[in-house]
A and B are shown apart, each in its own frame.
Chain A
């Protein structure tokens, strides 16, 4: 009757490690919300930023929120997406909607 004790002990250890990690995460979120987030928001407000600086490979990946309204295969029929980031950015919501009410975003 020792195996179940070892198993329960190991499971409790895993739960404790996970709880500690989540606690660390929560403390980090609280600390950053107090110090960093206001400073970053100030940056966004003063520089009037609209996008994250994640993908710098093309203008429509650098500022996804400011790009033209794209249509599939716009360069030529069946053309593939040029940049890997394009495969991360999903199609617009209206692509999935049953009735397309308007052609653009507005």
Chain B
């Protein structure tokens, strides 16, 4: 009961300075909301990438010529199949296409004609020459749907008409937004690739623990190649959405800096009015412990309310409003950018870390200056 009475007094004390405290809660909650939004967004993208790209080829082998990525002889695939532990090696045909009409970049990909139907495709995958399946972003940019013709300009400058037979569902936008998938032969003809050359080779390895060994063997046998393993692909996204990466670090450091200024302002001193109040409380019989408890409750009321409000705002912003405020920052100059449809993966550990980094310093910065005042003689405090 005693604690509740002190809490009641703390609330009355906060309400006496209600405009100051409401604005403090607003700023504090905004800081938490920004930090939590970044954490939710990056964690969700990172987990989505690792859960999807687990199906990526075990090794992608590129050819390096004069320090740059070059087309690889598709005959290398036959040699790779002979390496012990390799289950298969398939050349991949793909490339980029700048669309001057929409000023956007598309990714063109050549596939085998006998590909099985895919659940994420409305319509069907291309099975004959002159057919293509497009990502929702391409369809939106070129105002194309299933059954329409898609004109593209090939490497010789001629217009090639593709019949759109399938469109990837918007749920798969994070993978397919800018894709135009067509038959391998169509793609080779479109880009005028030299005969017997592919963009790179996807190698399948039977035993996952042998991937690094196989990659090493490929590198040793073909010094002009650069094998990229699946773990490196996944690690790339881990690094992109890591807290240490550029944008995250910038947002984190500026928000934390703002918060530190707030906490520092509180910690470096309390107002004369507050000192006077502490002096009176001491004079009428309050213990130092009671005053510390009062200040503890004041800190908890402000920081807990702000923390919970900030978390709720961040969750709604990222997972219900699809990160509308943060996505333009991530979008950069991309003309085609998928609408975020983020899966609400939440790491409870991150929430605890955020709570520890924000609530604890605030409560500490409320208590410490009050403790200094509370241990001073009440008469001196009131006279000062």
Contacts and interface: CB of A to CB of B under 8 A. Distances in A.
B72 to A, nearest CB: 12
Nearest to A69: B226
Contacts of A42: 55, 118-120
A8 to B, nearest CB: 8
B315 A89 contact: no
Identify which of A39, A48, A68, A92 gathers the most chain B CB atoms within 10 Å of its CB.
A48
A80 interface: no
Interface in A73-92: 83-90, 92
B23 to A, nearest CB: 18
Contacts of B319: 21, 25, 28
B242 A90 contact: yes
Contacts of B179: 47, 53
B303 to A, nearest CB: 12
B118 to A, nearest CB: 6
**What's the interface size class on B, roughly?**
35 or more
Nearest to B92: A48
A31 B54 CA distance: 19
Contacts of A40: 52, 120, 171-172, 174-175
Given A25-B346, A48-B90, A57 B105 contact: yes
Contacts of B200: 66
Contacts of B106: 56
Interface of B: 4-5, 7-8, 11-12, 15, 45, 48-49, 51-57, 60, 62, 64, 67-69, 90, 92, 96, 104-107, 109, 111, 115-116, 118-120, 135, 137, 168, 171-179, 181, 200, 202, 215-216, 219, 226-229, 232-233, 235-237, 239-240, 242, 244-248, 250, 301, 304-305, 308-309, 311-312, 315-316, 319, 330-338, 343-346
5 contacts: A4-B8, A14-B312, A40-B174, A54-B174, A62-B105
Contacts of A11: 304-305, 308
Contacts of B5: 1
Q: Shortest 8 CB-CB distances between A and B: which pairs?
A: A25-B344, A90-B245, A84-B332, A14-B308, A39-B119, A3-B11, A44-B55, A65-B233
Contacts of B118: 39, 42-43, 46
Given A3-B11, A25-B319, A37-B52, A43 B312 contact: no
A5 to B, nearest CB: 9
Identify which of B236, B312, B319, B331 gathers the most chain A CB atoms within 10 Å of its CB.
B236
A4 B153 CA distance: 71
Given A62-B107, A85-B332, A106-B216, A7 B7 contact: yes
A60 to B, nearest CB: 10
A105 to B, nearest CB: 6
Contacts of A87: 246-247, 250
Nearest to A92: B239
A53 to B, nearest CB: 4
Nearest to B54: A41
Nearest to B333: A57
A88 B46 CA distance: 13
Given A37-B51, A83-B332, A59 B346 contact: no
A44 B338 CA distance: 17
Nearest to B200: A66
Contacts of B233: 50-51, 65
Contacts of A28: 319, 343-344
A86 to B, nearest CB: 8
B312 A21 contact: yes
A88 B245 contact: yes
Nearest to B115: A46
Contacts of B246: 86-90
Contacts of A3: 8, 11-12, 15
A90 B247 CA distance: 9
B311 A18 contact: yes
Given A26-B344, A54-B334, A106-B229, 9 more contacts: A1-B8, A3-B8, A17-B312, A18-B312, A24-B344, A55-B337, A62-B107, A106-B219, A106-B228
Contact of A47 (B181, B232, B244, B332): B181
A83 B330 CA distance: 11
